[in-house]
Amino acid sequence: MIINHPLLGPRDAAEFVVLGDACLIDRPDGMNAASEEMHDYAYVRDNPAGEHRELWYHEQGDRSWLVVTRSTLTHDVIKVELARDVARARGRSR
Amino acid sequence: MTQAMRIDGGMVDRSRTLSFSWNGRWMTGYHGDTLASALLANGERLVGRSFKYHRPRGIFASGSEEPNALVQLREGAAQEPNTRATTIELFEGLNAASQNHRGPLAFDLMAANDLLSPFLSAGFYYKTFMWPKAFWERLYEPLIRASAGLGRLPMQPDPDVYDHGFLHCDLLVIGAGPTGLSAALAAARSGLRVILADEDFVPGGRLNAETHEVDEQSGADWAAAVTAELAASDNARLMTRTTVYGAFDHGIYGALERRTDHLADAGGKPRQVLWRIYTRRALLSAGATERSMAFGNNDRPGVMLAGAVRTYVNRFGVAPGRKVAVFTNNDDGLRTAEDLGEKGIEVAAVIDARKGDFVMDTIGRSGIRAVRLGDGRRVEADCLAVSGGWSPNVHLTCHHRGRPVWDADVVGFVPGGELPSGMSVAGAANGTMTLAAAIREGHGAAVGIAGDLGAERSPGTPAKAADESFAAAPFWQVAGLRKRAWVDLQNDVTTKDVRQSHQEGFRSVEHLKRYTTLGMATDQGRTANVLGLALMADAAGKSIEETGTTIFRPPYTPVAIGAFAGRARGKHFRPHRLTPSHKWAEENGADFVEAGMWLRAQWFKRPGEKGWRDSVDREASRVRKSVGICDVTTLGKIDIQGRDAAEFLNRVYANAFLKLPVGKVRYGLMLREDGICYDDGTTARLSESHFVMTTTTANAVLVFRNLEFARQCLWPDLDVHLISTTDGWAQFAVAGPKSRALLSKVVDDLDLSNDAFPFMACAECSVFGGTPARLFRISFSGELAYEIAVPARYGDSMMRALMKAGEEFDAVPYGTEALGVLRIEKGHVAGNEITGQTTARMLGLRGMVSRSKDAIGLKLSERDAMNEDDGMRLAGFRPVDRSVILTAGAHFLNPGDSADMAHDQGWMTSVAYSPELGMSVGLGFLKRGTDRIGETIRAYSPVRDQDVIVEVCSPHHVDPDGVRQRG
Amino acid sequence: MRYSALRILKEGLTGNRGWEPVWREPEPRPEYDIVIIGGGGHGLSTAYYLAKEFGERNVAVLEKGWLGSGNVGRNTTIIRSNYLLEGNQPFYEFSLKLWEGLEQDFNYNAMVSQRGILNLCHSDPQRDAFVRRANAMRLSGADAMVLGPDEIRKMCPYLDHENARFPITGALWQPRGGTVRHDAVAWGYARGADKRGVDIIQNCEVTGFDIKNGRCLGVETAKGPIKARKVAMCAAGSSSRVAAFASMRLPIESHVLQAFVSEGLKPVLPGVITFGAGHFYVSQSDKGGLVFGGDIDGYNSYAQRGNLPVVEDVCEGGMAIMPMIGRARLLRMWGGVMDMSMDGSPFIDKTHVEGLYLNAGWCYGGFKATPASGYCYAHLLATDQPHETARFFRLDRFRQGAMIDEKGVGAQPNLH
């Protein structure tokens, strides 16, 4: 597979490490979250057959975390974003 | 007589005679021959035995689709089983032998199986060999395995080298037949970067095997001219002997190039290169494969695909027989008779199924002598050329699970479903079965792609050729068949097996394949599948369209496992990482051990020491009595800087870090988000905004990855930056009561007194008069100890200088084993305890987990099952009989309990012989362990034949109050 | 029709014309006591044991494609019970015991072949962990030994003992481990279930559930609605897709695991061998093919195919440990879709919807579990009580913090 890195252009997927669903960005605050909320965050996944937003890490590269939107049926990559931008857009800051 | 069947013409070089050995007999052929054509030239008809019935078999095809002529090539470690004689280029001294027979090829003892064939029908083995139960492994299976398989593994390491390579192109053209040549030429002229790959050693495909004309010259000459133009083009790369074996995601294709397989001696060059080709577009022009029809004894040597007959006659100048009968259901088959006539070979009969004629049976055991026709006539012939039609080579279109569709005009499956993105198909592979149309289609496809990709030069015009007639009528099996008729030659699947499969309910095409093994042989059923599906459709009373097809999987043709592995084998399987003191350690008797990618010294043998225990005991004792030095560079080091660095650490460690003073080090416990202990280490604060974290060796990469995740994804606006400096700094533990004295000689201008530089202090400093360094007063051994770091380039010198400075204290280097002894004596946990299944509470570290701040893992560490009061707790263990050596991995049982899982009380994680205490000591997890100090329990290790009584004690076997490290 | 050598003799003498269909091809009835979603190994074995052991014969198995088209037909055929943890070991040992009597039980030769499984290790901590695991296995009544380098050399002289990057320091050896002819398992269970009255309905995709007031009343299918007292999901690989019809989200990701087979070779490998310093395991089938595999590709996928980096990684492991296979050719590669769960262990449990049950999360280890999974699921479906050996496979174990994490890698499915 090829990941079109937003900063570095197309790179072979072998340079990356995959973590999983990009919902892992949405970490609840451990002091305030209900147990159920933290459980769902850590353990429950949509696991869609189709478009999937997922976290890839450019370990053999610039160490960017990316959010890759990819089809789990065809493996086609639809979009690649810097995870930091996605995180900010989802309201994460400090 | 040599080469009795050689005739005029062809593309072999008669000036270069080559000798080769077949089953121990020497024969000759010519340069340009394949082993198959050379065998045929020498009149060898019987070349192998079938898998199940050990039927005599001859050469059936002329390319990689060959099901019969599989041979064991070469000798010794270079032996190559199951090699298709039809794809081996002849070289001087080639040595090949037939496979899968007991006794000589002509008198195979296993041929008795053929007589038993009524009892060996499809799936017979699922229905018997069940009683008595114990007989399967002892009798039945050994018998089955004795007759399993075809060729033999050499049983010695593969002596050859394989390389991996990467290529990029605009257009990959797969197959250099008329379509591919036409396409590649147009693409190259347009200015595209084009790669043309073909499995053959001469480009041209069927053009070399037929007598067609292209652009008013012979097809072979046209192919050679196009090849020459491509070879001269800067933007084209022609790859012969290269099989594109698979289509992978995002336009990546796998290809195998055979670099030296055609040479007697590789001369040290790589045998094969596995290419990964990154393409913008790909054009599949892989042609089509001919298939047979089902008639009695259609598997005998001498029965050959008609197209292969033409290949041998036209390309290789070899007559597959002296009297050839032709059996066909299409016009293409008729061309065979014409070509044979041209060459002066007698055509015994042309049997056209479309006229209602057919072959009922063949006669002749180890090679046909005659054929019996449907009307009872006997025709003398020593070769039967069969054409049951052509199946487009759609294989690569299936690699993303696209399913081909039936085309009634082509009488074959053509590409269907979703093709791999970026792939187009042209020519016979696409069902375009005639020459001129294929050339035009290849050209047109390339022009279209060139337009899509913005190429600007002129592609030229397509070559001119005549469209030969192509009229095929479906014909699968002869009527009134009484003899066995083969569908899959290699796996011995007959028409009866297909019928029985249907009768027993295995009616889906996948069930048919799996139950009868149709298409599961080394040729993936390339000449067999369509016939099998047609017969299944017939049995079910359905159309082929309704019956459907199985799909082909990569690779297109089998690829050597060695080629996939490339150079990653032996010592080069994975990289080595060497510590800065490696050279010094080598010079000083070190024995090395794998620690992840690292090689670390595990002990340093001194003269007179008999075993590793002598060395390790000495090293550990010297550390406790004087001072020792250990290279700990392998521990992960992460440099953390920024205004929010402390806040960041406070969130990734379970314990508090906000208030760590500058100049101090703190032990940190890191949890995973699921609350399980992940890693531990020390983090030093060098300034308000600058920290240095250490991780365990094993987790160095993973912790860094997780920290980057937290930094970029969880808290993107914290002002914090990370860099891994594991390789940047050489770090040494200097441990033991004399460590301060030693370091005082080394460190410039730093007061090392206990007051000025107490336990858990750190400082940036210099050594030996100005070399930058960092000093940490931390202790893994429990002794007064330091770790000192210098830039990695000084690591070797530093080790030497430390040892020199330590001479007066009789300082020793110590390795990982002594390190382990010291930490077990001290009760410090390591990888054997922090297994990824361990909670802070199990380690006795629950108090460290701060409840007053959020950190990774805090919330989920509070779940009930992870906090049970009677759970596992870390404890120490000593044998009641002090002479006993404990074993790690022993399970604990209460005395008197039976030895079963229900009474399991825990397990021993780490053991070491303690020279300090003069006995074996251990660490382990025991249910309620902290409450049971002083009890005695069993340490039970049946796999080590050990069952001993141990005393539960504090995990801190040595200096439990920590006086020494603070001293 | 009972299978035996005598029957083969009789049929052989009469032209093999008397063989009967192995299963019927029934149309679905409007209502069943129990409907099982998924005609793979686990679904078929569940049906078999429901009928045979629990007297539940009014059962249908609904299969989207052809029976056995799931992972039972796409695996590397290994059976073993070399597990460490209390939550797993007794279950897999139960499964191994069922394998041992399976063929006689269902009168079908699935070629259960106990030629042993050898897990190599390459460091002292790995060896310590093997000793702990082998002792745990012995405590559970399984067979296990820890071998030293010399014993391994004797057993497998062709391994790379000399020139290896990661020298072999020992091995966990389970003599009762081995392989089974995978398709035959599906066929044997299907035949046994069919004979006992179970309707196996192929080409019948489930498209939804009929759930009213928190109770599952049946399923919607490509062949119309079917009512059922109990509905049993059993579609590992696609569990999340099926559960989504009931608005359930699962602690599962779907991943692709590739597997490979070489051309047929004269048998030389005794049993199963796994490499402990790379991702590679191998056995040799009764047809002579080397059957091998390694790690999952690592990204979520339902595509039943993988990519080159893992192919190369697996072959590198193979060449590192047994360099004599270099000239053997890889004949076919394929991918199966795995339910990768959050701790690497499966689920056999009720759901929050009454009458709806779940069997899922088998990761890449479902094949060896086929008999016990079916038996325990049948037990749960028939009695509403978990089977003794499967009582830890609860869907709510992550809420409790009672993970069954053999590898100790936590809630990241692609690491299990």
* H, E, C per residue of C241-303: HHHHCCCCCECEEEEEEEEEEEEEECCCCCCEEEECCCCEEEEECCCCEEEEEEEEEEEECCC
Where are chain B's structural domains?
13-113, 162-288+393-452, 868-967
What distance in Å separates the CA atoms of residue B12 and residue B36, rounded to the nearest whole number? 13
> According to the model, what pLDDT value does residue B165 have?
97
What are the chain B neighbours of C318 within 8 Å (beta carbons)?
Answer: 561, 565
Q: Tell whether C312 lies on the interface with B, counting CB pairs under 8 A.
A: yes
Task: For residue B461, give Cα distances in angstroms to B182, B189, B215, B440.
Answer: 9, 10, 11, 9
Among C89, C139, C303, beta carbon nearest to B899: C139
Distance CA B143, CA B165 (A): 44
Cα B677–chain centre separation: 33
Q: What is d(CA B60, CA B306) in angstroms, rounded to the nearest whole number?
A: 9
Please state, in angstroms and rounded to a whole number, the distance separating the CA atoms of residues A78 and C271: 44
Looking at residue B42, its pLDDT comes to: 97
Q: Is the pTM of this model over 0.90?
A: yes
Q: Which of C112, C139, C326 sits opposite B560 (nearest CB)?
A: C326
- Distance of alpha carbon B834 from the chain centroid: 31
Phi-psi sector, B768: left (phi>0), alpha (psi -120 to 50), beta: left
pLDDT digits (tens, 9 = 90+) for B735-768: 999 999 999 999 999 999 999 999 999 999 999 9
Tokens 């042209």 correspond to what residue? B426
| First CA to last CA distance, chain B | 96
User: How confident is the model over B212-229, as pLDDT tens digits?
Assistant: 999 999 999 999 999 999
* Tens digit of each residue's pLDDT (9 = 90 or more) over B93-117: 999 999 999 999 999 888 888 888 8
**Residue B520 token pair:** 């599961």
pLDDT tens, residue by residue, C300-355 = 999 999 999 999 999 999 999 999 999 999 999 999 999 999 999 999 999 999 99
Q: What is the C-alpha to C-alpha distance for residues C182 and C179, in angstroms, rounded to an integer?
A: 8
d(CA C20, CA B229): 63
Residues 6+ apart with CB under 8 A from B797: none
Per-residue pLDDT of B779-791, as tens digits, reads 999 999 999 999 9
Cβ-count burial A25-55 (b if 16+ within 10 Å, e if not): bebbebeebeeeebbbbbbbbebbbeebbbb
What is the Cα–Cα distance from A47 to C140, expressed in whole angstroms? 35
> Which CATH class name applies to A2-89?
alpha beta
Residue B430 has phi, psi (to 5 degrees) of -100, 5
d(CA A66, CA B724): 20
Q: Give residue B115's pLDDT.
A: 87
Q: Is the pLDDT of residue B1 over 70?
A: no
**CATH architecture entry for B162-288+393-452:** 3-Layer(bba) Sandwich (3.50)
List b or e across B31-55, with b for residues whose CB sees 16 or more CB atoms inside 10 angstroms: bbbbbbbbbbbbbbbbbbbbbbbbb
Q: Give tens-digit pLDDT for B262-292.
A: 999 988 899 999 999 999 999 999 999 999 9
Distance CA A50, CA A53 (A): 10
Pairing of strands B677-687, B665-671: antiparallel
CA of B482: which chain C residue's CA is closest?
Answer: C15
**CATH classification (class only), B13-113:** alpha beta
| Amino acid identity at C410 | G
Tell me if B713 and A64 make a contact (CB, 8 A cut-off): no
Contacts of A53 (CB under 8 A, 6+ apart): A21, A22, A23, A67, A68, A69
- B433-462 pLDDT, tens digit per residue, is 999 999 999 999 999 999 999 998 999 999
| Residue from A11, A38, A47 whose CB has the most chain C CBs within 10 Å, to mutate | A47
User: In this complex, do B564 and C316 lie within 8 Å of one another by their Cβ atoms?
Assistant: yes
**According to the model, what pLDDT value does residue B797 have?**
97
User: pLDDT per residue over B333-365, tens digit each?
Assistant: 889 999 999 999 999 999 999 999 999 999 998
Rounded distance, CA C117 to CA C110, Å? 18
Question: Is C121 in contact with C147 (CB distance < 8 Å)?
Answer: no
Q: What SS3 class is residue B234?
A: coil
**Helix B645-652 crosses helix B700-709 at what angle (to 10 degrees)?**
110
* Beta-bridge partners for A54: A21, A68
Give how far the C-alpha of residue B725 lies from the chain's centroid of Cα atoms, to the nearest Å: 33
- φ and ψ at residue B17, rounded to 5 degrees: -80, 135
Rounded Cα gap, residues B316 and B301, in angstroms: 19
The pLDDT assigned to B809 comes to 97
| Closest by CA position to B953, among listed B484, B485, B649, B919 | B919
CA pair distance B585, B732, nearest whole angstrom: 13
User: Residue B1 burial by CB count (10 A; 0-12/13-18/19+): exposed, middle or buried?
Assistant: exposed
- Whether B707 has a pLDDT exceeding 80, the answer reads yes
Contact B142, B148 (CB under 8 A): no
Closest CA to B157 of B569, B568, B566, B558: B569
How many angstroms separate the first and last alpha carbons of chain A? 34
Domains and CATH numbers, chain C: 5-77+182-251+343-415 (3.50.50.60), 113-176+255-340 (3.30.9.10)
**Cα radius of gyration rounded to whole Å, chain B:** 37
- What is residue C1's predicted lDDT score, i.e. its pLDDT? 86
Residue B171 pLDDT > 80, yes or no? yes
Q: Are B668 and B635 in contact (CB under 8 A)?
A: no
Of C51, C32, C43, which is closest to residue C69 (Cα–Cα)?
Answer: C43
Distance CA B45, CA B59 (A): 7
> Which residue in B713, B851, B852, B866 has the most chain A C-beta atoms within 10 A of its own C-beta, making it the best mutation to test that interface?
B713
Contact C69/B510, CB-based, under 8 Å?
yes
Residues of chain C with confidence (pLDDT) below 70: none
Q: Can you tell me the distance from the alpha carbon of B881 to that of B496, in angstroms, rounded to the nearest whole number?
A: 73
Residues in a beta bridge with C8: none
Which stretch of DSSP H or E encloses residue B214? strand B213-214
Q: Is the pLDDT assigned to residue B418 strictly greater than 90?
A: no
Q: Nearest Cα to C104, choosing from C226, C173, C32, C188?
A: C188
Which of B421, B718, B859 has its CB closest to that of A33? Answer: B859
φ, ψ for residue B520, nearest 5 deg? -100, 0
The predicted-structure confidence for B600-626, as pLDDT tens digits, reads as follows: 999 999 999 999 999 999 999 999 999
Q: How far apart are CA C334 and CA B318, in angstroms?
A: 40
Q: What percent of chain B has pLDDT over 90?
A: 91
**Which tokens sit at B404?**
């081909």
Of A39, A42, A73, the CB nearest to C303: A73
Instruction: Name, in order, each residue with C-beta under 8 angstroms of C80's C-beta and a sequence gap of 6 or more.
Output: C92, C96, C117, C174, C177, C178, C272, C368
The residues near A87 (Cβ < 8 Å, ≥ 6 apart) are: A25, B712, B713, B714, B716
> Given this model, what pLDDT does residue C162 score?
81
Helical (H) or strand (E) element with C339: strand C329-341
Does domain B868-967 fall into CATH 3.40.50.2300? no
Chain C CB contacts of A52 under 8 Å are 300
Q: What is residue B138's predicted lDDT score, i.e. its pLDDT?
A: 85
Q: Which amino acid is present at B926? A: L
Interface contact A75-B714, CB threshold 8 A: no
Instruction: Check: CB of residue C304 under 8 Å from CB of residue A5.
Output: no
Inter-chain contact A54–C241, Cβ cutoff 8 Å?
Answer: no
Using the predicted structure, report yes or no on whether residue B20 has a pLDDT greater than 90: yes
**Single-letter amino acid code for the residue at B440:** R
* Predicted local distance difference test score (pLDDT) of residue B590: 97
Q: pLDDT category, A38, cuts 50, 70, 90?
A: very high
Q: Mutation test of the interface with chain B: which of A4, A15, A43, A74, choosing the one with the most B Cβ atoms within 10 A?
A: A74
User: CB distance from B129 to chain C under 8 Å?
Assistant: yes
Q: Would you call A30 and B705 a contact, using CB atoms and an 8 Å cutoff?
A: no
Residue of A nearest to C415 (CA): A19
Band of pLDDT at residue B299, cut at 50, 70 and 90: very high
B944, HSE (Cβ side, Cα atoms, 13 Å):
22
Query: Residues B900-917: pLDDT tens digits?
Result: 999 999 999 999 999 999
Residue of B81, B271, B276 whose CA lies nearest to B161: B271
Mean pLDDT for chain B overall = 96
Query: What does the alpha-carbon distance between residue B620 and residue B727 come to, in Å, rounded to a whole number?
Result: 27
CA B325 from chain centre, in angstroms, equals 46
pLDDT at position A89: 98
Q: Supply φ then ψ for residue B6, to 5 degrees.
A: -75, 135
Q: Is the peptide bond before B132 cis (omega within 30 degrees of 0)?
A: yes
Question: Do C8 and B672 lie within an 8 Å CB cutoff?
Answer: no
Does the pLDDT at position B524 exceed 60?
A: yes
Cβ neighbours for B222, distance < 8 A, ≥ 6 positions apart: B181, B207, B213, B214, B215, B463
Q: Where are the domains of chain A?
A: 2-89
pLDDT of residue B950: 98
Write the single-letter amino acid at B668: G
d(CA B413, CA B532): 13
